[in-house]
Amino acid sequence: MKHPKGHRWEIFKQLIFRTYGNNCHICGCGGARHVDHLEPVTEDPALAWRLENCRPAHGAPGNPCPVCSGQAGQRIFCNQIRSMGSVDRARRIIAEKIEARQGRKTKKPGSPQRVRKDPGRVW
């Protein structure tokens, strides 16, 4: 079975957002406009239209998380990061992306730079 879509799916999505709100179930931030299936449709097609199997999430195209993206300095699509992995794994990946950016931001001016052991190409 393919991923659900069409008019029936749009109505079902509205029900999901009325039931669960628009906070992404992965990162917890608002503004989610896509739906994530907790149990993937490819694993169990019968759960595609079950309300208890669906949650709001930030997804592509056009719906990156505004909070996580700003903190990470790159667009974060929570549902794509999760893909078929666990929600906990996706949260760790998002946290690592944010920490990596914040680590770069908190470097003090004049702090020692990392020295390359291989000087690279010498012209």
Q: Tens digits of per-residue pLDDT, 18-29?
A: 999 999 999 999
State the pLDDT confidence band at 8, using cuts at 50, 70 and 90: very high
Contact yes or no for 13/36 (Cβ under 8 A): no
Average pLDDT, the chain: 87
Rounded to two decimals, the pTM is 0.78
φ, ψ for residue 47, nearest 5 deg: -90, 0
CA gap 69, 19 in Å, rounded: 26
Q: Is residue 42 within 8 Å of residue 2, measured between CB atoms?
A: no
pLDDT at residue 115, as a whole number: 47
In the chain, domain spans: 7-40+54-104
Q: What are the φ/ψ torsions at residue 50 (nearest 5 degrees)?
A: -95, 125
